[in-house]
Structures are given as C-alpha cells and as structure tokens.
Amino acid sequence: MNTINETNFKFPNQKSVYKGKVREVYTINDELLVMIATDRLSAFDVILPRQIPFKGQILNQIATKMLNDTADIVPNWLLANPDENVAVGHLCDTFKVEMVIRGYMSGHAAREYKAGKRVLCGVAMAEGLEENDKFPEPLITPSTKAENGEHDEDISREDILSQEIVSEEDYIILENYTKALFQRGTEIAAKRGLILVDTKYEFGKTKEGKILLIDEIHTPDSSRYFYAEGYEERQNKRAPQKQLSKEFVRQWLIENGFQGKDNQQIPEMSDAKIIEISNRYIELYEQITGEAFVKATTENVLDRIEKNVTSFLSN
C-alpha cells in the first residue's frame, strides 16, 4: 500500500518549503501556504521509521471539518482543500508557542503529577487527583514550539511574557481563543459520544496584524479523546479509559522501552501493528465526524497531489 513519507514538489511561484514532523509546508508567492499531510507518525518528538496508511488524509480531513466548524468563533487560515491530503491557506507569522489546554489529568500532565509535581507551566494542580480525573476548570499549559526536531518544552504564561515571546495584548487573545475553541471542541465531541480530554492550538498573525488559528485542530495527533460511555465507571474502578488518540502509540512505545530519550532504540512495528494503528485512526475519523471514511486512491499518490495542487494554484 502506497504511503506518503516525503514530498519534493516544485509548485508554481514556490518560494520555500518547510518539513515538520508530519506536515510539509510550501510557501507560494509569500502569500499562501500549501500544507501537505504525510503519513509519517511521530511520538515523543521522534519520527517513527514506518508510515501509517491514510493517516495524512485522515488528519487533513478532520482538521478541515473542525476548522470549518469553529470559524464562526475564531478566524482561521484555511482557504481551500484541492486534494484529500492538502490544505491551502493564508501565510502567517507563527507565534512561537503552542497553546495546550487540558480538561483532564492525562498524558503528560499525569506523568508529571505521578513524578510529584503539582505545578505545570506555572499552573497549580490540586492534591488528591487520580489519572484521568477531570480538572475543575481546563488548564492552559503552553509549550515552546520546537524547531529542527527538538523537543517542545513546557513554559509558563509569566515566562512567555517576560521573555517577550508573545506580547501581553496578543497573549490575552490567544488565551481567549484557546478557551473558546476547547469549549466548542468539547461540545462537538459530546455529540459523538466522546470526551475531548486535551488538545493544542497554534496561531499566527497575518501581514495586516490579524491573529488566525493555523495548522490542524482536534485531530488524533493534536488531541486526546475518551469515550464518554463508561467513563465514570472506569474512573471509579481506577481502570484505564477507553480512548481515541495517539496515546495508545505512546503507551505501546513505552511498554517496548522507548520514550524518545537518548540511547533508546525505537521498537520495530510489524505490518499488523501498522494496520492496527491505521484502523484506529479511521475509527477516530468516523467517530468524531459521524461520517464514513472514504479512502482516496493511493496509486501514484504523489502525482495525484502534484496535479491537484498545481491545477488549483494555476486558477
């Protein structure tokens, strides 16, 4: 099965290309971004050796739907989707922080809590919490936006402002947008029988000074979901929650001795594991969108993308 590992396109009026962990972003005429979602899989800020069939299409189409479903409360960068794996939108100057918001004690927060920490990114966490408990109020726990494969780092609101990474005026807008998006995402998830546990948002500013939501939102790469049915019962029993997110990949890696630390070997993923992960991504797509996933043709997939994007840019 053909997957997308990397691209090397030369689009009309292309100025530059940036290759992130999962997406490859082409700048067109210093005005537009062409964002291509590959099938690469990253965990613990490490790109894993094998790709996941249809993962890029799934992420792109979930993000597109969620951007459209939140555009009435927060303006975003998206203009068009000329291909199943592609989003085209406004070029922005990206803020160097990721706005992470957590409704539940899970993932990174839970690992820090188990290690004895009670303050995360300058935000206090109460005593007596158990893993996957709901916080009284969602916590905003920002991280610095890593470049060149480096690890994202936790950072507090105070440090963001004191280091002048973001102005206070802009940061207040980012906080308000983050809260509004998380509330809308929570409502959308609830309609599908899911709980939006935590997520991250990225923002940028246009040449005109307008702040826009950018990149992906509410996908399994940027978010964690629990199934709502049985949540309380599982919590009461202190049993693991049934979840749809990339956390199951992280847990599998941890169980096999890998957390992205120095001198750790990435465990080999079998064909069966790759298909299992692909099916989990498809399950999330169908659960969160309420729509059946339609697999795009993967025969000559790079030719397909190049043709569709070039046609769009030429119009």
**Which tens digits make up the pLDDT trace of 114-123?**
999 999 999 9
Rounded average pLDDT over 287-312: 95
Residues 186, 178: Cα–Cα separation, whole Å: 12
Residue 149 has pLDDT above 60, yes or no: no
Task: Tell me phi and psi for residue 172, to 5 degrees.
Answer: -60, -40
Residue 217, Cα to own-chain centre: how many angstroms? 6
Segment among 40-44, 104-108, 163-167 with least mean pLDDT: 40-44
> And the tokens for 103?
């409704």
Residues 168, 106: Cα–Cα separation, whole Å: 29
**Winning range, highest mean pLDDT, from 53-57, 150-154, 240-244, 281-285:** 53-57
The structural domains of the chain, with segments of one domain joined by +, span 94-245
- Give per-residue burial for 28-38: e unless 16+ CB within 10 Å, then b: beeebbbbbbb
**Which tens digits make up the pLDDT trace of 33-63?**
999 999 999 888 888 989 999 999 999 999 9
| pLDDT band for position 146 (cuts 50, 70, 90) | low
Task: Tell me phi and psi for residue 153, to 5 degrees.
Answer: -125, 140
**Segment holding 186, helix H or strand E:** helix 168-191
Residue 64 is predicted with a pLDDT of 97
Using alpha carbons only, how large is the chain's radius of gyration in Å? 19
Q: Between vectors from CA 151 to CA 147 and to CA 153, what angle results, nearest 5°?
A: 100
94-245 CATH pick, 2.60.40.10, 3.40.50.2000, 3.30.420.40, 3.30.470.20 = 3.30.470.20
Can you say whether the dihedral through the CA atoms of 241, 246, 252, 257 is positive or negative?
negative
Q: Which residue has the tokens 């959308």?
A: 188
